[in-house]
Amino acid sequence: MLSMNRLTAIAVLSIGLAATGSPQNSPGKQSDKAQSNPSPTVTKIENSTSNNEADRATQKTPEPHSGIEWSNWALVLVGTAGVGAAILTLRAIKKQTDLQAVAYTQWIKIENWEATAQPIAPSDQAPYREMLIGLDIVNGSEFPLTMKSAAVRHAGYLVFESTNDVFLPPHTPHRIRFVVQITSAEFDVWEKAIISIPLQGDLESTGVLKILIYQPFKGILISQKGKAPYFHYEISIVPAGKPEANQKAK
């Protein structure tokens, strides 16, 4: 009976010792297992850090903003080409406008000069004689214009002036006449040979472009009794080129 109890106690104690000393519950075994099998989380962080540092050390530094600089140069070239094309276009438009302006250029010309003087009695010893001079003012363009003013001077004296608007259709003459004085000696020469009568003046007109056209003229009227006179221009009355080049300075 006593031996059975002892055997039973020994068996129970053996089972308890076996349960307590199991390798799964041993602190030393657990520590060894932890050391031999490191945590996956810790290993991931350490590897990521070391890999990033290695990548930074081995990665080659690129040239800064190289792509942006090339794109800026491309924009500059495109902009320059656009400006050049715009300038060429403006020049072409200006040339076309100038051609149209030249087509509409208008002017006044003077035609059909005349010079007459009445003979006087031999007893008349007046130092001066009067000579009647006539001329046609003609619109030489293909479009109507309006003469705004006209003035003619001889020897510094005003011998004709008009400030009224005169409508001038194309190629339609407008006759004007005025009187100048010549000396008796010049009159005697005029009956046998030519004399020179200096004249100067200016004409102002407007046409379809509504631009004031200023036409000064200066020259010598060559006249002889019984022959048609002609005018030798020192300053031509016909405007050249663009209408704006003939505007009177204000």
Please write the tens of the pLDDT for every residue from 212-223: 999 999 999 999
Span 165-182, pLDDT tens digits: 999 999 999 999 999 999
- pLDDT for the residue 164: 94
Q: Tell me the average pLDDT across 3-31.
A: 49
At residue 149, does pLDDT exceed 80? yes
Q: Quick one: three-class SS letters along 69-136?
A: HHHHHHHHHHHHHHHHHHHHHHHHHHHHHHHHHHHCCCCEEEEEEEEECCCCCCCCCCCEEEEEEEEE
User: Could you give phi then psi for residue 112, rounded to 5 degrees?
Assistant: 55, 60
Task: Decide if 135 contacts 178 (C-beta within 8 A).
Answer: no
- Altogether, the residues listed in the chain come to a count of 250
pLDDT at 120: 66
For the domain bounded by 108-246, which CATH number is listed? 2.60.40
pLDDT mean across residues, the chain = 75
Q: pLDDT tier at 100 (50, 70, 90 boundaries)? A: low
Residue bearing the bigger pLDDT, 87 or 217:
217
Q: Would you state the pLDDT for residue 22?
A: 47
Highest mean pLDDT among 2-6, 77-81, 92-96, 210-214: 210-214
Nearest residue to 223 (alpha-carbon basis) of 178, 174, 175, 182: 182
Lowest model confidence (mean pLDDT) among 45-59, 133-147, 176-190, 209-223: 45-59
Q: Which residue has the higher pLDDT, 6 or 24?
A: 6
Round to whole Å and give the CA distance between 133 and 112. Answer: 10
Burial class of residue 200, CB neighbours in 10 A (0-12, 13-18, 19+): middle
- 176 in Cβ contact with 166 (< 8 Å): no
- For the cut 60, the answer to whether the pLDDT of residue 47 exceeds it is no
pLDDT at 65: 54
Contact 151, 164 (CB under 8 A): no
| Comparison of pLDDT for 225 and 70, the residue scoring more | 225
pLDDT confidence bin for 233, thresholds 50/70/90:
very high
